Amino acid sequence: MSNILIIKHGSLGDIAQASGAIQDIFENHKQYKIFLLTTKPYYELFKKNPYIHHVILDKRLPRYNLIYLYFLMKEIKKYKFLKVFDLQNSSRTNFYKKILFPNANFNIWSSSITILPSDKDKTEFDKDSVLDRFNFQLTKSGLNTKNTLKPDFSWACQNIDEIKKRYDLKKYILLFPFCSPHLTVKRWPYYNDLIKLILSKFGDEYKLITAPGPKELADAKEIDATPILDNDKSLGISQLATLIKDSSFVVANDTGPAHIAAHVGANGLTLFGKHISASKVSIERDSFKPIQVEDLNKLSAEKVLERLSDNLV
């Protein structure tokens, strides 16, 4: 049996988005073993993916760490991959190509660089939506794509009955008011106002919760909702995916959990300012919708409640 390599380093939202592309690569190569190169945060997660046979860890140490680079390339070369699908499409993975397959075209190394015709500019190509770019890459590489444009991240879920029992979670609205410290432009500032409006309209019909990440535990104390933890620690990705999937509704900033929500079939909203368009990141699904505004500071809690009420089922 021959081997195929997929490269996907991260981030969390990107992992969810790539799920359909990974499934299509598997479906088109059932006679092959599918390997995936990823980073530590997603190494154990990808072991659960039913379309991946083996996961290789890339610690992504600096490129000048020649010893590490030598052993990583040696590890990759030993599997004698017939083809590589670079779904990361970064300068780093292009650097790997120059070492592993320096003269390969898209028949051997499929990436956003190798699949583009000479008259198509990569800068312009990168303006297309994430899923459209994946789809173009795979179809150009000769694959039939049934799942790339509709990724399903449900494979990542795991049983969280004990957690749900501990917090008495039956019907709940899940809020993600957090964002990276260097991306505060993504933060909508009126979650506590929204919480008051939800309580006023629905009473105790829904429990209001958050699921803070490891660096968001302090911020969660400023939100008037119950933080869901596992033994005082943040939920793992698989636990988080299930919590999102089983929710009655999700309201989130443009962060990783929002992309999980979009691709596990959750019902909800994600809030976008001018930092990027919702269409560019392919987040709109049948039951998960964006609110796009010029200035998140001018998006009222009343407006979000209106959209929530219209879509809450």
Provide the CATH number for the domain around residue 207: 3.40.50.2000
Tell me how far apart the alpha carbons of residues 15 and 96 are, in angstroms, rounded to a whole number.
Answer: 20
The verdict on 26 and 82 lying in the same domain is yes
The verdict on 63 and 184 lying in the same domain is no
Q: What is the mean pLDDT of the chain?
A: 95
Residue after which a domain boundary falls, among 129, 152, 175 = 152
Residue after which a domain boundary falls, among 152, 170, 189 = 152
The verdict on 117 and 210 lying in the same domain is no
- For 182, the domain range is 160-311
Percent of the chain with pLDDT over 90: 88
- pLDDT at residue 118 above 80? no
Contacts of 288 (CB under 8 A, 6+ apart): 250, 261, 262, 265, 266, 267, 268, 269, 270
Q: Pick left, alpha or beta for residue 292 (phi over 0 → left; psi -120 to 50 → alpha; otherwise beta).
A: beta
The verdict on 42 and 143 lying in the same domain is yes
Summarised one tens digit per residue, pLDDT across range 261-275 is 999 999 999 999 988
Q: How confident is the model at residue 181 (pLDDT cuts 50, 70, 90)?
A: confident
What tokens does 248 get?
A: 């009655």
pTM of the complete model: 0.94
Summarised one tens digit per residue, pLDDT across range 39-50 is 999 999 999 999
Residue after which a domain boundary falls, among 105, 120, 152 = 152
The verdict on 169 and 291 lying in the same domain is yes
The verdict on 25 and 99 lying in the same domain is yes
The verdict on 206 and 258 lying in the same domain is yes
The verdict on 221 and 285 lying in the same domain is yes
Q: How many domains does the chain have?
A: 2
